[in-house]
Amino acid sequence: MKSIIWKMNKKIILLIPILFIATGCSDVFQLSPSEKVKSYGENYEIIGNEKEELLQDVSETIFEHGDRSNSQAQEHHIPALDVRETFSVPEGRYQITGNITGNVYIHDDKGVLVYHNIVGSPYGVPAITLDIKDTYTITVDGFDQVAVIPIETQIQTELTAGIWEVGMDIEAGDYIITGPHGGIGYVQILDTNDEAKVYEVFGGDFSSSNSHIQLKEGQIIRIIGISTVYFRAE
């Protein structure tokens, strides 16, 4: 799986022609957007091979309901991390943070990747939030310290990096999704009965994404590479 930083850099490069056109500099370069970029422009939905690459590591266990009561969940702290470390925590809903910057990998009992993101300042998201099954393992590296803290479930319209369920974390419905200024990442909408969809989300001075999406009960939302995604009901 390619690193998220590489994917972000690649997408920034793709956006350069659009920014020049938007600021009146297109005459200098005499460039027009590629068909790939044009397809993003419609609803910022990613298709084709890039979509397949982004979805190649998706464990089917993310569709299994975890223990949202957090009856067994416990805080877990690693105060000094010198090397890569793998550990488990009791089942529950957790938020994972780290200092300063490092990788967090979640794998299922078959070794299939559930989720990966870079966490911590200045290159990663502040935290990730997701269900941790008792069969999952958490692998971290690059941090000075890591905290895994139980977190309560609530319906909201601002979802941070992590894994969320429609009907439990956000209501079903039609939304426009946007990102914070300077942020760039991906929203993946996964469905056991329908084809997955992937949207690029970014915010900036010259161009920002505004994707129209429909969320259905039971769908899973996986947010990668961006700190927060704002869901505005249509």
In tens, the pLDDT along 53-102 reads 989 878 999 999 889 999 999 999 998 777 899 999 999 999 999 999 99
Domain 64-150 in CATH 3.90.1150.10? The answer is no
Q: Quick one: how far is CA 232 from the chain centroid?
A: 18
Predicted confidence (pLDDT) at residue 40 exceeds the cutoff of 70? no
The residue behind tokens 């969809």 is 197
Q: How far is CA 196 from CA 8, 38, 56, 139, in A?
A: 21, 21, 11, 26
pLDDT recorded at residue 56: 86
Arithmetic mean of pLDDT, 130-144: 95
Question: What is the pairing mode between strands 113-119 and 92-107?
Answer: antiparallel
Predicted confidence (pLDDT) at residue 226 exceeds the cutoff of 60? yes
Give the angle subtended at the CA of 176 by the CAs of 173 and 178, to the nearest 5°. Answer: 135
Would you state the structure tokens that stand for residue 228, as one six-digit string? 């927060």
Predicted confidence (pLDDT) at residue 205 exceeds the cutoff of 50? yes
What b-and-e string marks burial along 32-57, b requiring 16 or more CB atoms within 10 Å of the CB? ebeeeeeebeeebbbeeeebeebbee
Q: Widest CA span of the chain, in angstroms?
A: 62
Calpha distance 172→165 (Å, rounded) = 10
Q: Quick one: what percent of the chain has pLDDT higher than 70? A: 82
In the chain, ranges of CATH 2.60.120.1540 domains: 64-150
Cβ(221)–Cβ(170) below 8 Å? yes
Calpha distance 234→228 (Å, rounded) = 19
pTM over 0.85? The answer is no
